[in-house]
Structure 1
Amino acid sequence: MTLGTRPQHALRPVATTRAERRVVRVLAMEPGSPPSLQARIAHRVIRAVGRSFWERLPDTDAGLVRLQRATDLLARYVQSAPRGVAFAPQPLPHCSAEWVRAGAPDEDRALLYLHGGGYFFGSPRLYRPFTWRLSAATARPVLALDYRLVPEHTPADALQDALDAYDLLLERGHDPSRIVVGGDSAGGHLTLALLLTLKRRERPLPGAAFCLSPWVDLMCSSESHSGNARTDHLIPADKLAWLGRRYCEGRAEDDALFAPLRGDLSGLPPLMFVASGTEILRDETRDAAERARAAGVETVYQEWDDLVHVFPVFCDFIPEGKAAFRHIAEFLRRFGA
C-alpha cells in the first residue's frame, strides 16, 4: 500500500549478466508484492533468535541490560563495509556519533540518522550495513547518532542528544533545507519528537524526514499491537507495552516526546513513513501518515507485505531491505531535499 503521488523512478542501467539482472530485480521491488524467499527464511531466524531471546528476559533493568549487551556483542561481528566507505567518530556534548561516507557524497548535504532499539539498545556500529548503503543511495554523508540509552538514561536524554547533533550540522554551515533526518522504530519516534521540538522552539526545520516502522505512540494503544502480536517476527507486543508504560509514567498524554503521533504535525517538512502489514506498529505508522497529510504535510506512506519490523535494517539478508533505499532516495529527490 502506498499513499501519495507515485514516485518517479530513476533510470536504471540495462543488465547484461545474471548477477546484474538479479540486482535490477531487487532494486525494482515495490510494496504490495509477496515477501521473497530470502525474507521468509530470514523471518524464521529472526523470530527464533531475536524475538525468542527478548521474550525470555524479565521486565527489569537487568533484562534490558542483558539484551543491550547481546546486541553490543553482535555489533562486533558486523560485516565490514566495501572499499570506498569511510567511518569517522564525531564527539558531541553528552554522547558521540559516527560519520558514514560511501563513495563521494555531496558534502553540502547531510543526513542525521537515529537508530532504533526501544531506547535501550542499538549503536552506529550495529547499523553500519544499513548506514553505508543509506549514504550511497542518497549521495550524502550520514551522521549516525550514538544517543544515550535506558536504563542509565532516559528518552528525554536521547532527544537532547538529537538536538545537539542537529545543532552541530547547523554550526558547520549546513543549510537546514539540505538536511534530512531519518530513524527507525524508537529512532522514528525520536525523529518526530525532534521535528516537533524544533518547531515548538521556532528553530529551522530540516528539508525532509523519513520514519521506518516508527514507534510513535509509546502507550501502544493502536489495534495492531494486539491484532499483529502473533505475526510480528521481531517484537513481543507485551514487552514493548511494558517499555512504553515505563517511559510514559508521569508524562502528559500530549507530551511531544512521548506521543508525537498526537502532536500538531502542521508545518513539518515532507515526511515518508514505511511499515510492514504484519508488524505491531503498522496502525500507528498509518495513523501518523494520515494525520500528517490531514495537517497539510507532503506525505508518502508505504506498506510492505509480511516483512519483519524495520526490514530495511536487515538489508544484508532481505532483498526488500535493499530496495527500500531506492524508495528513500526517490522520496528525497522528489521533494528536493
Structure 2
Amino acid sequence: MSDSKTDGCDFNTPAPPKISAWDICWTLITLVVYAPLSVLTSLCHPGQTWGDMKEQISHDLVLCFGRRLPVPVIQRASEKTGAIIRKSLRYTGAPFHVAEKVQKPDFSGYWVYRDKSIKSRPQDADLVLFHLHGGGYVMGHPLDNAPELLLIAETLSQRSHTVAVFSLEYSLVPTARLPTQLTQTTAAYTWLISELRINPSKLYLIGESAGGHLILSLLTTLYERSVDQNPLALPKPAAAFLISPWVNLNPCGADARARHQGLDPRSAAFKHVLERFSNLVLHGAPPEYLKLHGSFAHRAPGRGSWKYILPPTTWVSAGTAEPLFRFDIEEFVAASRRDGADVRFELADGRVHVWQSVEARDQEGKFLALAPGTDDARLMPGYRHIAELIVGCLEDRA
C-alpha cells in the first residue's frame, strides 16, 4: 500500500517542471491581485444563496488559476501521493488495497482499488476498470478522482462483484508532446490484456474530458491495428464511459468561433482557459496524429466506422451549460449513431463541464470522513449514477 515502486524499476518519469523566479512572481501577483478580484466578482451576482455563492467562488477561482498561473505551478499543485486517502477515517485499515503505485518501463499508474482476494490476480476480478483522468492534458493526476472511483468500487463490491480499478499516470503537456500520452495508454492497455491476462469482456474504460479523448484515441488505435492485421493487435474492451469527453482538441478554432459568440460570462471565462490549454496541446503534435485524433466530432478519412471502433457498450454524458464541449460531443454522438454504433447519451440540464466531478469535489471530504461500512446516499450522486450503470452492464451480461 505504499507509493514505492511495485513493478519494474526502469520507468523514467519526466522530471517535475522547474519553477522559475518569474513563475513565483506571477503566482504571487495572481494570488494577491487576480484571485481577490475573482472572488469580488463572484459576490456581485444578486439573488444568490450561500450555497450558490460558494460554488460560484470556487468555479471562478479555478478559472482564474487555470488562465493565469504558470503551467509548472499548476502541475506541481496537481501532484498527489494517495496518503490523504489511505489515512482517511474511511480507508484506514480498509479490507482492500487502496492507491498502490505501479511503475513499468513504458508507463506508470495506480491500483486505486483492489479486493484483497485478487491482490496478485486482477484477472480473476469480475471487472477491471481502466481510468484516464482529465485536465486538458496539461494538469491532473490519476488520484484526482480516487474517491469517486472508490465509491464505484464499493458499490460493485456491495453487489457481490469483485473489482480492480487502475488509473494511468500519463505524462503531461508541454513536458511530453502528443502522442506520448496515447503511447503510454496503449502500453498500459497491452499490459492489462497481455501480461495480466485480463479478459477484454471484463475490462471497462472510464475517463473525464481529456481522459475521454484519450479513450477514443486508444479505441481508434486498437481498430487500426486490427484492420492492418498488426501482430500487436488486441481486442477492444467491453465498455467505455465518457464523461464530458474532449472530442475536439481545437474547439475554439476558426470554424467554431461563430458558434461561441454570445457565451454566458462563465463559459466566456472558461474559453480563455480552454484556448490556453488547446494551444499547449496542439503545439508540436504531428500532423498525421492530428488527422485521426485531433477531432472526433468530424469524420476523418481513413479512421473507419464508429460501429467497429467503439465497444458494445458506450455511454457519453455532457451538460447543457458547457457550450464549448457540448456541441462537439453531440456531433460525435450523432456521427457514431449514423455509423450504427450503439451509443447512450445523457445531456444534463443546466450542468457544466464534467459536472459529476465538479459536484464531487465539494463532497469528497465528507465521503472520506465517513466511518467504514457507512454511507450517505446524498454524496456524489453523479458518480453513484455511473456506478449503477456499470452494475447494470455487469448484470446484463451475467
Q: Which has the larger radius of gyration?
A: 2
- State the match for 1:99 in structure 2: 111
Asked whether the 8 Å contact 1:211–1:272 carries over to 2, the reply is yes
> Could you say which residue in structure 2 is the equivalent of 1:168?
191
The answer as to 2:377 corresponding to 1:328 is no
CA separation in 2, counterparts of 1:42 and 1:192?
35
Equivalent pair of 1:272/1:331 in contact (CA under 8 Å): no
2:320 maps to 277
Q: Within the alignment, does 1:238 sit opposite 2:272 as a pair?
A: yes
Change (3 A) 1:110 1:70: same
Alignment of 1:58-207 (within 5 A): 63-72=70-79, 80=88, 82=91, 83-87=94-98, 88-101=100-113, 107-138=125-156, 139=161, 140-171=163-194, 172-202=196-226, 203-207=234-238
Q: Which residue of 1 aligns with 2:38?
A: none
TM-score (norm 2): 0.65
Q: C-alpha distance in 2, partners of 1:53/1:71?
A: 12
RMSD value, Cα = 3.1
- Aligned equivalents of 2:152 and 2:280: distance in 1? 32
Note if contact 1:225-1:281 (Cα within 8 Å) is conserved in structure 2: no
- Residue 317 of structure 1 pairs with residue 362 of structure 2: yes
Provide the C-alpha distance between the structure 1 equivalents of 2:390 and 2:262, rounded to a whole number of angstroms. 32
For residue 67 of structure 2, the aligned residue among 41, 55, 62 is: 55
**Cα pair 1:114 1:182 within 8 Å, conserved:** yes
* 8 A Cα contact 2:200 2:235, kept in partner: yes
SS at structure 1 position matched to 2:241: strand
The answer to whether the 8 A contact 1:39-1:317 is kept is no
Specify whether residues 85 and 41 from structure 1 end up closer, same or farther in structure 2 by C-alpha distance, changes over 3 A only. Answer: farther
Q: Could you say which residue in structure 1 is the equivalent of 2:341?
A: 297
| CA distance 1:165–1:226, change in 2 (3 Å) | farther
CA contact (8 A) 2:107 2:187 kept: no
With structure 1 as the length reference, what TM-score do the two structures score? Answer: 0.76
Using CA pairs under 8 Å that are at least 6 residues apart, name the structure with larger relative contact order, 1 or 2. 1
SS of 2:78 mapped into structure 1 = helix
In structure 2, the residue corresponding to 1:325 is in which secondary structure? helix
| Aligned equivalents of 2:289, 2:184: Cα separation in 1 | 23
Distance change in 2, residues 1:251/1:336 (3 Å): farther
Q: Structure 1: how far apart are the matches of 2:260 and 2:109?
A: 32
Give the letter for the 2:292 counterpart: A
Decide whether aligned partners of structure 1 residues 43 and 304 sit closer, same or farther in structure 2, where only a CA change above 3 A counts. farther
Give the direction of change, closer, same or farther, for the CA distance of 1:72–1:225 in structure 2 (3 Å limit).
farther
- Report sequence identity in percent: 25
State the number of aligned residues.
295
Task: Please list every run of 5 or more consecutive structure 1 residues that lacks an aligned counterpart in the other structure.
Answer: 1-36, 58-62
Letter in 1 for 2:241: F
In structure 2, list runs of 5 or more residues that go unmatched: 1-48, 119-123, 227-233, 364-379
